[in-house]
Structure 1
Amino acid sequence: MVFPKDISDMGRMEQANRLFFRLYQCANMLHKTGTKAVESEGLTTQQWAVLGALSRPDTQNGISMGDLARFLMVSRQNLSGLISRMERDGHVRSDPDGRDRRSRLVTMTESGRQVWLEQAVPKIRVFYEQALEGFSNSDLTHTVHYLLKLLDNMKEIDAEQGHAPSDDGDAPVDLEAQV
């Protein structure tokens, strides 16, 4: 066991442990409660993230599986299974890329767009309001700032561990950009 050099290191380690455990809990609750919010549309939080990513203006003509996986920060293997299920349900389409036949472009179908805009987005807005109860605009700004800072640090760790760096931008579901 490694012991901290002094009491301040021990306190920082305890705070870090609390922070990362709370992030873990938040991620689990987001998956549980977020999926419940959109389950009547036949969606999960993962599908919500994909539809949110595909509803951005820069993806209207499709996005490669690799770029979508990097944007969502998931493995291609996990994304492939998810996209297959979403194709089966008629929400997305995956076609060969005209510029590179080895690559596939994922686009949202009209049916998927209807489910997203007319059914999911209104429920997601309600979910956001409930989840962010008591947060001021300043709280939201600061929270996003610190989460992005943490995400950047973890991306550096990922790159040091031998994974390709990615410039994934902001969160995959920016409702204001889609409506």
Structure 2
Amino acid sequence: MIGRLTGLIAEKNPPQIVLDVGGIGYELDVPMSTFYNLPGAGERTTLLTHLAVREDGHFLYGFLSEAERFAFRLLLKISGIGARTALAVLSGLSVGDLAAAVTRQEIGRLIKIPGIGKKTAERLLLELKGKLAEVGGAAPGVVADTVRDDILNALLALGYNDKEANAALKQLPADVATADGIRQALKLLSKV
């Protein structure tokens, strides 16, 4: 098993890179979250890897963090989820966002990912429940905070994306009420 590779980035063609390790070029498929955080071509990097051996070939997947690799391996254990779908999930949501979506049972966030339908999203929510909490980086107090959940869901329902809604949510006072929080978040978002 190949667990980690350190080398120079020879090529970057999303979602695949070629990592030159001692003159040998390893092709790795990476989630877009990893791809965007990689240094430029010719620069040195270290990737954690997952090697999949199938009858049609050997496939290597690379990740910048242990949390991403752990989530990828959890996704692969789910019936009907292959490597491409697992990469799509990790490209569409960070591990923390995925953990929060699973904890809150937010099927809508998963359906937004290309290639994920309602049935697949339901299966993901069921199979991942309780398995990503410690890895996702989401503090239990934040996940359990129903006022913040309500504000976030209201912003998402109004058409704001996850990034915009979470950025506004971070700027709100900790003890804000739901209605006031929504009003303040909308004011913050209107200034952008």
Pair in the same fold by TM > 0.5: no
Q: Looking at secondary structure, tell me which structure has more helix per residue.
A: 1
Structure number with the bigger relative contact order (C-alpha 8 A, sep ≥ 6) is 1
Q: TM-score, normalised by structure 2?
A: 0.25
Q: Looking at secondary structure, tell me which structure has more strand per residue.
A: 2
Q: TM-score, normalised by structure 1?
A: 0.26
